[in-house]
Structure 1
Amino acid sequence: MTSSSTAALVSSNIHKVDVGEDGLTFDPDTLHVSPGGKVEFHFYPGNHSVAQAAFDNPCHPMSTSSFFSGFHAPTHDESSTVFTLTVNDTDPIWFYCGQVGHCQAGMVGVINPSGANTLDSFKNAASNADGITVPSAVQGGVLGKNDETESSTSSGASTGTASSTETESSTSSGASTGTASSTESPSPSAANAGAKSHSVIDMSCVLVLSFLMGLLLM
């Protein structure tokens, strides 16, 4: 298998879910993931989370070991943290946002739905759920850095450095031009030659006048 084929295979086994990017939703809210595949939950402003529930008891953890991402509240854009869940089999996995009121508002989803249990049925049940609870700690998945936000930050830093370098280059160029202008002046050797020429003419005039005065006095 070539490296490009391997990369494509890895990419196809990673499924991205945006949490709260467009309001109280998971996008997509329905996924089909093969065993061994991974689901990355990317969080947006709104203090969202993702937790596992049972179909017949939405808005509450399925068990004490149910996965839970913890709450994430970026101030703007996408969070720098991603919660990654590994899917081990094809059994349906129902999930919800643990923020107060979000599950009841329809912020739920499912991985590998099957049979008569549909997402619409789960949403209807969630809208009538009694309260909302979440596990006491992050579990069942892996919290890691968001490669997309890291890459964007690095790119922005590099662009800033390039701009700074361009500014320094322009400043240096301007300084050099200014120095050249301040040192521009007539050639010192040409000025000296002119002064000598004037001295010779003055001496000639003095000699002629002295000769004429001598003739008049004779």
Structure 2
Amino acid sequence: MNLLSTIALFSSLPLIHAQYGNQAKSSATTAASSTTSTTSAASGIHTVDVGEDGLTFNPDSLTVSPGDKVEFHFYPPDHSVVQASFDNPCQPISSGGFFSGFFQTSQESKTVFTVTVNNTDPIWLYCGVQGHCQAGMVGVINPPSSGDTLDLFKAAAAKAKDSTVPANVFGGVVGTASSENTSSTATGTATATSTGSASKTSASTSTTTNAANTMRTAGDVGALALLGLFSWLMM
């Protein structure tokens, strides 16, 4: 080995380090981006407890975005949710709307009624069990910014002579609570997030190992180059 070969070997070491260093940075960035996209998803589900604290919806007023879902959870002994118009509380709205049916239960029902909100128009609602609406069991989704208020709707409901409900359940979905699905959904999310983190850790570990191996290889090459240099000088 001559002096020029030895110099060439030493000159190539920074290039090797730069190449693997850039790969490490790229791998870490890709893994981080994957984890961010996994954890950024949001469900858009709003929960309303029906009858948990007496004849109330809790919350009795909420603002949601179009496309979001409102999930009604029912408590003992017997409640429902019906859409009304502001001018005629305790009666089903004349067009469209929804009705959950009656939920008779001795504890919080695992079955819920879920409504998808399509716009920002006010949705006035009440419990259809006789007397509940008049007792103040009413609420509103996306209340107007001025004019009609929940207090005015509640006052009008107190004066209503009776309550009626539609003949059939419609306008929403009766199904399993998202909190029940959350065990499977949460497990899936946790697994996905965990997998993303694991991938990031694995990528970092793999990159670190590769870098270490590269440095060791570079060190071995350097040592051989030094030996070659001494051997050449001794000739």
Aligned to 1:178: none
Matched residues in 2 for 1:150 and 1:100: separation? 32
- Residue by residue over 1:39-97, the C-alpha shift from the partner in whole angstroms, topping out at 9 and shown as x without a partner, is 00000002100000000100000125320000001112x10211000000000000000
Aligned to 1:54: 85
1:80/1:150 contact within 8 Å kept: no
Tell me which amino acid in the other structure corresponds to 1:37.
Answer: D
Aligned to 1:18: 49
- Paired residues for 1:68-217 under 5 Å: 68-76=99-107, 78-114=108-144, 115-148=146-179
Q: Secondary structure at the match of 1:85?
A: strand
Matched residues in 1 for 2:103 and 2:153: separation? 24
Identity %: 63
Higher alpha-carbon Rg: 1
Matched residues in 2 for 1:46 and 1:121: separation? 27
TM-score (norm 2): 0.60
- Residue by residue over 1:150-202, the C-alpha shift from the partner in whole angstroms, topping out at 9 and shown as x without a partner, is 789xxxxxxxxxxxxxxxxxxxxxxxxxxxxxxxxxxxxxxxxxxxxxxxxxx
Instruction: Tell me how many residue pairs correspond in the alignment.
Output: 147
TM-score (norm 1): 0.64
Structure 2: give runs of 5+ residues left out of the alignment: 1-35, 184-235
Structure 1: give runs of 5+ residues left out of the alignment: 153-218
1:28: Cα distance to partner?
0.2
More helix by share: 2
- Residue by residue over 1:73-122, the C-alpha shift from the partner in whole angstroms, topping out at 9 and shown as x without a partner, is 1112x102110000000000000000000000000000011121000000
Tell me which amino acid in the other structure corresponds to 1:93.
Answer: I
1:66/1:135 contact within 8 Å kept: no
Matched residues in 1 for 2:157 and 2:112: separation? 25
- Cα RMSD over matched residues? 1.6
| Aligned equivalent of 1:67, options 70, 81, 98 | 98
Matched residues in 1 for 2:83 and 2:169: separation? 12
